[in-house]
Amino acid sequence: MHAHDVDPVRRGCRGTPDGHGHVLVSAAATLLGFLFFAAAAVVTALRSRKAHGGDSALPVGLSFLAVASLARLDPVEQLLIAKAPSATYEVVKHLTFTVGAVAIIAWVHTALTGRGTNFLLLWASAAAAAIAMLVLFIANDPWTNDDLTNQTSQKPWMALYWLIYCVTGGLAAGAFGVSALRASRAHGLRYGWGMAIAVLGAASGTAWAVVSLINHASGSSHARESPLGQTANALITVSTVLLCIGGIGHLVLAIVRRRRRQEDLRALHDHLASAVAETRLDSSRVGLAEYHATIEIMDALAVLARYSSVSDVEHVRAAVGDASREVHLAYQIDIAAARRGMDDQPARSEDWSTWLSDDEALRRLGRAFRDRTTPESRQRVVEQVVGA
């Protein structure tokens, strides 16, 4: 999550080597954040559109976070300072960030509960937060183009402004962290490390919200340059970098997983389609090939299941030894295909319904055909069991 503390520390540190280094790191994090949020907003919007009714709260939230990050880039910030009323450049960042945070909270709520986003409630909540902050800002005029953090020490009502800003940011980071943790555990370390890194970024973002709120509550006229202010700057920079790395990693891993899933299912489909040719469908229409392939797999398995004896699994285990269930089933499928060729349907067939309803199980079964068994080994077991 971005926040106003991502801005380069323009005052009080630019003249020192360490301060200049922090400026460069913060600026790089801001640019990275903008590119990531903008790209993620486009990708998630396309996925939401493709899902025909998929939840669009996430691309909405990412879009506002991208705008907030854009407003922190130095050329844009300088343009706002030159053309807009005093301190407007700060408020633009804060309001867009807050609206984005509210949308992220709504998206996480949908992801965790399975309920569709109530967009009326989402926009009402985002508008209420933004309007309240804007009213507080206007009511406490006049302002200068100095950092807003350092101007609020003598304006007690601005504590509500910072409370809304920090609490929404902290809740969004915390909620996203919970969602990312669940995703990381679901995919395991091999495919979930991207979300694991994002969890660390979300934790840093939550810590930023707490430290930043305490810093604003201190009433210091040099809140940004205080130890708490510098800590908040470091936390949000770390959060931005970790969220970007984790998000990009998750996207790359998702592409890898999808490609491997397609390869596994293709291996399963090709094998079954050759064994039960009558289950093939017309896949000439664009976009239906993958869907039809899944239907053909399930239809072929349903046909072959009628030719699989309940005793086959024991024969396979005796022939190949202990192995995973999908490896045993790969041998059973070829045995059933051989029986079907001889029109020899057993009196008691095995129930394969579990495999017909589990996409992940089908993927593992495809992997068993692809690289855990060979045509020669399967043919040998078929000859041992049915004498084909």
Q: Could you tell me the domains of the chain?
A: 4-254 (1.20.1070), 276-386 (no CATH)
Where is average pLDDT lowest: 70-79, 186-195, 209-218, 330-339? 186-195
Question: For residue 376, which amino acid is it?
Answer: E
Q: How many CA atoms lie within 13 A of 2 on its CB side?
A: 38
Query: What number is the average pLDDT over the span 220-226?
Result: 73
Q: If we measure between CA atoms, which residue out of 218, 223, 208, 125 comes closest to residue 170?
A: 208
Of the pLDDT bands very low, low, confident and very high (cuts 50, 70, 90), residue 56 is confident
Question: For residue 261, which amino acid is it?
Answer: R
Question: For residue 372, which amino acid is it?
Answer: R
Q: At what angle do helices 57-70 and 88-113 cross, to 10 degrees?
A: 160
Q: Indicate if the pLDDT at residue 202 is higher than 80.
A: yes
Tokens 């902050």 appear where? Answer: 133
Query: How does DSSP classify residue 344?
Result: -
Q: Indicate if the pLDDT at residue 8 is higher than 60.
A: no
Query: What number is the average pLDDT over the span 241-246?
Result: 92
Query: What number is the average pLDDT over the span 56-78?
Result: 91
Query: What number is the average pLDDT over the span 116-129?
Result: 88
Q: What percent of the chain has pLDDT over 90?
A: 31
For the chain, what is the radius of gyration of the CA atoms? Answer: 29
CB 106 within 8 A of CB 90: no
Q: Indicate if the pLDDT at residue 388 is higher than 60.
A: no
Q: If we measure between CA atoms, which residue out of 211, 206, 209 comes closest to residue 229?
A: 211
Q: Indicate if the pLDDT at residue 200 is higher than 70.
A: yes
Measured between alpha carbons, how far is 90 from 377 in angstroms, rounded to an integer?
69
Structure confidence by residue, pLDDT tens digits, 23-34: 777 788 889 889
Structure confidence by residue, pLDDT tens digits, 267-290: 888 888 888 876 665 554 444 566
Question: For residue 334, which amino acid is it?
Answer: D
pLDDT given at position 1: 45
pLDDT given at position 286: 42
* DSSP result, 272-316: HHHHSGGG-----STT-HHHHHHHHHHHHHHHHHTT-BTTHHHHH
Q: Indicate if the pLDDT at residue 109 is higher than 60.
A: yes
Measured between alpha carbons, how far is 2 from 35 in angstroms, rounded to an integer?
12
User: What tokens were used for 204?
Assistant: 């840093």
pLDDT given at position 279: 65
Measured between alpha carbons, how far is 116 from 113 in angstroms, rounded to an integer?
9
Q: What is the mean pLDDT of the chain?
A: 83
Q: Indicate if the pLDDT at residue 339 is higher than 60.
A: yes
